[in-house]
């Protein structure tokens, strides 16, 4: 690990999908299907550049930055936390 350069400290990944439910006339569940899958990743790194990357106008299906926290303390190197969202691949 090199201080002053972007170096990973931690990463947390959460994979989720939405579930659509189908019920019969009695309200009994008869089928389910998933859709809208996404991966949310939160990363913390050391940083020397404190530029916000959670900007309007991002497009695509991978690495859309939804939050960018910049952390400065007098007892530690500068850190940043990024939250990213990516679409999950669909099952073939």
Domain ranges of the chain: 8-87
Of 85, 71, 87, nearest to 42 (Cα)? 85
Residue 6's pLDDT band (cuts 50, 70, 90): very low
pLDDT tens-digit readout, 43-57: 888 877 777 877 888
> Residue 71 has what pLDDT?
85
pTM, full prediction: 0.65
2-6, 29-33, 63-67, 84-88, range with greatest mean pLDDT: 29-33
Torsion of CA 6, 8, 12, 18, to 10 degrees: 40
């Amino acid at each position: 690990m090199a201080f002053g350069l972007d170096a990973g400290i931690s990463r947390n990944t959460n994979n989720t999908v939405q579930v659509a439910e189908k019920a019969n006339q009695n309200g009994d569940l008869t089928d389910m299907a998933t859709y809208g899958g996404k991966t949310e990743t939160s990363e913390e790194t050391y940083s020397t550049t404190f530029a916000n990357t959670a900007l309007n106008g991002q497009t695509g299906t991978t690495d859309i930055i939804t939050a960018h926290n910049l952390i400065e303390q007098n007892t530690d190197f500068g850190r940043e936390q990024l939250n990213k969202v990516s679409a999950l691949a669909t099952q073939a």
